[in-house]
Amino acid sequence: NAGVTQTPKFRILKIGQSMTLQCAQDMNHNYMYWYRQDPGMGLKLIYYSVGAGITDKGEVPNGYNVSRSTTEDFPLRLELAAPSQTSVYFCASSYSDRGKETQYFGPGTRLLVL
């Protein structure tokens, strides 16, 4: 299993540009998440999904969109990049085992908006 994969690893955007951060998992997990992590800070939840076709907002959804057309993929879209979106973005997936849940993270995408 590749686990959770993310592309690209690093990207520089100009203000106002758009891009899609890709996330895929091959563990057949129903739950998937997008987080951002600013320097020296914890992870903040952007969006999450409990299954194909179902998405919901997290703590900091403004400026982002997501879709979940398949179990495997959960892309994150930035429509109008702003300097405040400079961050490291982590995708995660999880399963529930007898009520206990473990999240597995991808390696992250570093985004710089100038």
Partner 1 sequence: RKEVEQDPGPFNVPEGATVAFNCTYSNSASQSFFWYRQDCRKEPKLLMSVYSSGNEDGRFTAQLNRASQYISLLIRDSKLSDSATYLCVAPSRRTGRRALTFGSGTRLQVQP
In the complex, the residues that contact partner 1 under the rule CB under 8 A are 31, 33, 35, 40-45, 48, 50, 56-59, 90, 99-108
78 or 90, CB closer to partner 1? Answer: 90
CB 108 within 8 A of CB 90: yes
CB of 72 to partner 1, least distance (A): 18
66 or 106, CB closer to partner 1? Answer: 106
CB 71 within 8 A of CB 28: yes
Query: Rounded to whole angstroms, how far apart are CA atoms 23 and 65?
Result: 13
